[in-house]
Structure 1
């Protein structure tokens, strides 16, 4: 059931998914302030993951804050206590989406070679139909959707903007993967926050 409380939100036409996008969810002034605060205050880390029998650095910096631990990509993320700036952003996101979130994953993409591979946020701890609220600040990046089962379905792409909110809910994670592909185009820092509710 949709609880989204923003009339200007674009309900993206993606079959078997429920996705909303607000390109200017935060004002320019808010976006600049939050971007600088997050860049300076978040305890960014370069995590390593095991792929093809090798331990490789993630192609981005990450941080995990909130009330619950979380496992993804073989990493156990122990939560750091909420920062005031994170609580401010979370409060506005919760008011707009009608959902509560107890944790947030932050990603810092420092250039076009920093990326996020195809994946779904479908870990059991998130429940059967998780609601993921994704907030972005900084450089624009291309964001893709790929159907998990229907290979004839073309990939869908949109440009994620400074101060935007992307809401994925309902059957989205069950049917679709998403990614931030690499780009050869010169690009600056981008900070992404994905608010989620760990249910177990």
Structure 2
């Protein structure tokens, strides 16, 4: 069984790509163990997360377009006593760089309109990761380079292409708690996840490798200034 992205009948009925309106934040009834779609799920230590399935509709061709037009970059990183390839391709767009597609620019504007007042500033930068197949991944981390290490902030991620699971776990776990215990957020094409409050410094997230995934996925990360 694979999870390669395929356009749905529902998406094919959409005349042109469009973003769903994001509702005002409401608290999830189930709590952290049962994160609710579209609801804000409070986490420990002042963190929270929102999941908005199918935020972007009718953009079936966008992953292929970005794959072909973005100047993806392969990175290498020192790990222990050797230099290894980072298992994904990346591209970061700073505030003054033109974005690679009008839908990415529109998403940036819509997120700023929805969360800017709460955040106290707009989203300004866009990072992108291309996961070529299930062997590409990102290890446990928080976006805490810069202001995210000491300040509350937000990071919004739009998932495009093949479905992958984002895992989220607290950095500090109770004595005796299993380190592998985590929240699971399956992210399909067009889904949006927003992590806010203290999430980047008190929690960590990852995209694990998967033998069940054969298709590519692109992660689009929207961040405010000074957060990486």
What TM-score range do you get, normalising by the shorter chain?
A: 0.7 to 0.9
Secondary structure of 1:46's counterpart equals strand
1:97 aligns with 115
The whole-number CA distance in structure 1 between the counterparts of 2:74 and 2:62 is 21
Aligned-residue offset at 1:19: 0.4
The whole-number CA distance in structure 1 between the counterparts of 2:107 and 2:61 is 11
2:182 is equivalent to residue 164 of structure 1:
no
Query: Is residue 62–residue 107 contact of structure 1 (8 Å, CA) maintained in 2?
Result: yes
2:129 is equivalent to residue 112 of structure 1:
no
Query: Is residue 122–residue 128 contact of structure 1 (8 Å, CA) maintained in 2?
Result: no
Give 1 or 2 for the bigger CA radius of gyration.
2
1:74 aligns with none
Deviations 1:116-173 (A, max 9, x none): 0000111224461121011110000011012101142731112011101100110111
Q: Which residue of 165, 186, 198 maps to 2:213?
A: 186
Secondary structure of 1:187's counterpart equals coil
Query: Is residue 155–residue 194 contact of structure 2 (8 Å, CA) maintained in 1?
Result: yes
TM-score by length of 1: 0.82
TM-score by length of 2: 0.73
Aligned-residue offset at 1:39: 1.6
The whole-number CA distance in structure 2 between the counterparts of 1:196 and 1:13 is 20
2:68 is equivalent to residue 40 of structure 1:
yes
1:71 aligns with none
User: Structure 2: which 5+ runs fail to align?
Assistant: 1-20, 25-36
The whole-number CA distance in structure 2 between the counterparts of 1:10 and 1:24 is 14
Aligned-residue offset at 1:178: 0.2
Secondary structure of 2:63's counterpart equals helix
> Are the structure 2 counterparts of residues 89 and 41 from structure 1 closer, same or farther at C-alpha, using a change threshold of 3 Å?
farther
User: Structure 1: which 5+ runs fail to align?
Assistant: 69-79
RMSD: 2.2
